[in-house]
Amino acid sequence: MRERSLSLRAHSAEWMPAQSPPSRLSRRVGKRLAVFGAAAAIAVVPALALAPAAFAADPFAVTTPSNGDTGVPFDGVPNRVDFAGTGLANGDYVQILFTGLSGPDQPAVYGDTDVDDAGNWSTTADFADLTPGQKQIVATVDEMAADGTTVVDSEVVTFTLQTAAVPLAPFAVTSPAVGSTVDTATPTFEGTGAPGLTVEIQYTGRAGHNDTAGKGIIKADGTFSIATDFSDYEPGGGTVATDAVRVLVYQTDAEGNELPGETRQAVTFYFSTPPVPLIPLSLTLAPTSETVSASSATGAALSATGFSPAEELTLTVTDPSGAPVTLGGTRPDQIFAAETDGSYADSLLLPSGAAAGDYTVTLTGVRTERTATATLTVTADPTPTPTPTPTTPAAAGGSSSGSGSSTTQLASTGLDGVGIGGLAGAFLLVGGSLFLLRRRSAKS
């Protein structure tokens, strides 16, 4: 450290121009500057010595597969091999070329090149254009700048595949044909693609949900046949009279990730009959008739069926004149049909003092535009019947009290129930005696 400081001072003296002897003031300033300079040198030199060396990136190279490798496996998809290496500069990408059926210098990179801050990179190469049965591959790997110019000359990597390359049929759906009509609710989808890949068939089901109609793996011969299930389709839909069925068919890897760069297949077809029967539309009120007071106190129970599951509904009520009615009670901002079967239930309270007459209740599906109506008859409250005031007759010879009330009694006849019974018994006894006397007279 000291030697570095002295060399700096010596270097400084060599370049000092000749001049006249300094004055006393100049010598003082010079001494102070010399002290400051030495201190600065002592502070700066250690910092330079301790400063980290600039990052020296590894040279661009291919580490996987290495030159001469044998038994290189596919990455889970036929004909695709993972490549990795070092030294890829930020912003550059990797290009892999090989000779295939279509000629020399065929690009093999499938997707993007991933690279970290240290320059370590990885990508996937697709060798589907190889001659059927070919195992050995000679690939040239380049580092390319963003503008497409070569940064690093080609590195040649020769390796042997574990499994011979498989000539791939293009991914396509051959059945059902676009625009065709199928006579089953579970049509079988057939087509071609890369062996070992998974094919997924999706459609838009009820309530706008994405549903899977079926999944299957492409066989070794490059074909697939997948049975489907459209039981979650919109009730009553999927026919020529309603709407077409549109499905998306695509290939995924073993983890279910859709393969980048692959073309999705869109297939539109019709069912001869809806895979899910249309639910009959209905709207009922209970009771269908009630009084003005009851209509605002207990209301009427509403039940409906036949709407699309989970679709938004609109409910309107109009009075006998056709004017809209604001229902009583706490009402939600939005109402929806049940997600399971498209049904709906509610309770309707009319405002207090509603006019008597017929009220029309209308329920409409926002998505399906299906509409159901019902009528609620409101009758006037009955007029209460006045209760008569009971009166008591005054007794004979009675007199009025000071309060103005009087008591009246019926005149006594002198006979009560017991006396009448005794009189009847006497008459019966006399009659019987006379009857016996007459029979004796007749015998004599």
Q: What is the 3-state secondary structure (H, E, C) of the chain?
A: CHHHHHHHHHHHHHCCCCCCCCCHHHHHHHHHHHHHHHHHHHHHHHHHHHCCCCCCCCCCEEEECCCCCCCECCCCCCCEEEEEEECCCCCCEEEEEEEECCEEEEECEEEEEEECCCCCEEEEEECCCCCCCCCEEEEEEEEECCCCCEEEEEEEEEEEECCCCCCCCCCEEEECCCCCEECCCCCEEEEECCCCCEEEEEEECHHHCEEEEEEEECCCCCEEEEECCCCCCCCCCCCCCCCCEEEEEEEECCCCCECCCCCCEEEEEEECCCCCCCCCCEEEEECCEEEHHHHHHCCEEEEEECCCCCCEEEEEEECCCCCECCCCCCCCCCEECCCCCCCEEEEECCCCCCCCEEEEEEEEECCCCCEEEEEEEEECCCCCCCCCCCCCCECCCCCCCCCCCCCECCCCCCCCHHHHHHHHHHHHHHHHHHHHHHHHHHHC
Looking at residue 181, its pLDDT comes to 96
pLDDT at 388: 75
Give dist(CA 91, CA 146) in Å, integer.
Answer: 6
SS3 category, 187: coil
For position 240, what pLDDT does the model report? Answer: 94
Domain check: are 18 and 67 in the same one? no
Same domain, yes or no: 372 and 300: yes
User: In a structure prediction context, what are the per-residue pLDDT tens digits for the chain, which is 444 residues long?
Assistant: 333 333 333 333 333 444 444 444 444 445 454 444 444 444 444 444 444 433 445 789 999 999 999 999 988 777 889 999 999 999 999 999 998 888 889 999 977 899 999 999 999 998 888 877 789 999 999 999 999 899 987 789 999 999 887 766 788 999 999 999 999 999 999 999 888 889 999 999 887 789 999 999 998 788 999 999 999 998 899 999 988 999 999 888 777 777 765 678 999 999 999 999 988 999 999 999 999 999 999 999 999 999 998 899 999 999 999 999 999 999 999 999 998 889 999 999 999 989 999 999 999 999 889 999 999 999 999 988 777 777 776 655 544 444 444 444 545 555 555 555 555 565 566 565 555 555 555 555
Domain membership flag for residue 111: yes
pLDDT on residue 170? 81
Residue 369 φ/ψ region, left for φ over 0, alpha for ψ in the -120 to 50 degree band, beta for the rest: left
195: in domain = yes
CATH number at residue 204: 2.60.40.10
- Domain membership flag for residue 410: no
Supply the CATH number for residue 329's domain. Answer: 2.60.40.1930
Token pair of 114 as six digits: 């991933």
Helix (H) or strand (E) holding 417: helix 417-443
Residue 266 is inside which H or E element, if any? strand 265-271
Tell me the C-alpha distance between 430 and 432, whole Å: 5
Note whether 71 and 36 are same-domain residues: no
Residue 187 to residue 203: CA distance in whole angstroms: 13
Domain boundary, last residue among 379, 414, 435: 379
End position of a domain, from candidates 216, 245, 271: 271
Any domain includes 415: no
295: number of Cβ within 10 Å:
26
What pLDDT was estimated at residue 262?
63
Do 25 and 90 share a structural domain?
A: no
For position 40, what pLDDT does the model report?
45
Residue 427 lies in a domain: no
Same domain assignment for residues 155 and 193? no
| Residues 237, 239, 241, 243, Cα dihedral to 10° | 60
What sign does the CA torsion over 194, 196, 201, 202 have?
A: negative
Helix (H) or strand (E) holding 48: helix 24-50
Same domain for 316 and 243: no
Report whether the peptide linkage leading into residue 65 is cis, meaning its omega lies within 30 degrees of zero.
yes
Cβ burial, residue 415 (10 Å; 0-12/13-18/19+): exposed
Q: Among 271, 291, 318, which residue terminates a domain?
A: 271
187 and 219 in a single domain? The answer is yes
Residue 39 token pair: 């201190």
Q: What local confidence, expressed as pLDDT, does residue 439 receive?
A: 59
Distance spanning both ends of the chain, measured CA to CA = 185
Per the structure block, which two tokens stand in for 185? 């609710």
Task: Work out the angle at residue 270's Cα, subtended by the Cα atoms of residues 268 and 271, and round it to the nearest 5 degrees.
Answer: 145
- In 3D space, the residue among 72, 125, 135, 65 whose CA is nearest the CA of residue 94 turns out to be 125
**Residue 419 placed within a domain:** no
144 and 199 belong to one structural domain: no
Is 421 inside a domain boundary?
Answer: no
217 lies in some domain: yes
Q: Is residue 321 located within the same domain as residue 249?
A: no
Domains identified in the chain, total number: 4
Distance CA 231, CA 186 (A): 9
Its domain, for residue 202, covers 172-271
How much is the pLDDT for 395? 59
Does residue 177 sit in the same domain as residue 249? yes
Helices (H), 243-310: 292-297
- Residue 222 CB neighbours (<10 A): 20
Could you tell me if 186 and 254 lie in one domain?
yes
The reply to whether 83 and 132 lie within a common domain is: yes
The span from the CA of 196 to the CA of 75, in Å, is 12
